Structure 1
Amino acid sequence: MITLTETATSKVGQLLQAEGAEDLALRVAVRPGGCSGFSYEMFFDGDFAADDSVTNFGDDGKVRVVVDAASAQLLEGATLDYKDGLEQSGFAVTNPNATRSCGCGQSFS
């Protein structure tokens, strides 16, 4: 299962609050495609399947992350971080299962 850094947890919580959708969860998935074979997909979702893994983050546990069974295998040990700087801005996944990734960091194999 993927874990969130404190910075990512805070940012996801802010986005959920801004959307007025605190009952939703951040779905993190791996899909075929991208220049290296697989790509990451993230969106807010309220529709869960029976085999989805749901994990709560944050002191209050209000930030939920949901991962489908197929993606969970590829995201085992991965970390989602959020950076807000001049050089980098946005969410980034560090995945120990990725043997190769593209220059943009959005796809891996």
Structure 2
Amino acid sequence: MSIIITDKASVQIKEMMQDEEEGVRLRFGVQGGGCSGLSYSLGFDEEINEELDVVEEINGIPVVLFSQDLPIIEGTKIDFKENLMGGGFSIDNPNAVLSCGCGSSFRPKEYDGPVEKC
């Protein structure tokens, strides 16, 4: 298993999936950008590239991961936290050595790409 989805996050994701098209999957990965170098990408997707994507079932949720992201996201935990302002997903990546103050971007150990200002 590449990533961990907590029970709280699973409940929230499954509830959100009910409003999506049949056959939709959760897609999780990273993309360039943000003040620390990379930012997370989390959303729903119907498309799968059989040459580039890895499909796993985690807590009953079909998850699509871009194979090149696997070393960067291995062991990442997706959780859902409630607070006075509502709630939201939190991502805890053991491979991140630097995180942005705003919490939306990170830098893994082997990243040497560009960085933006917050």
Alpha-carbon shift at residue 49 of structure 1 (Å): 1.2
Partner of 2:111: none
Give the TM-score normalised by structure 2: 0.82
Alpha-carbon shift at residue 21 of structure 1 (Å): 2.6
Q: Deviations over 1:34-92 (max 9, x none)?
A: 0100000111001011131222133xx2x211110111111001110011212672111
- Structure with greater Cα Rg: 2
Q: Matched residue pairs, number?
A: 105
More helix by share: 1
Partner of 2:10: 9
Which AA in structure 2 matches 1:38?
A: L
- Whole-angstrom CA distance in 2 between matches of 1:98 and 1:45: 25
Which AA in structure 1 matches 2:48?
A: F
Which AA in structure 2 matches 1:25?
A: R
Structure 1 stretches (4+) deviating beyond 3 angstroms? none
- Going from structure 1 to structure 2, the CA distance change for 1:87 and 1:42 (only over 3 Å counts) comes to same
SS of the aligned residue for 1:26 comes to strand
RMSD over aligned Cα atoms: 1.5
Give the TM-score normalised by structure 1: 0.88
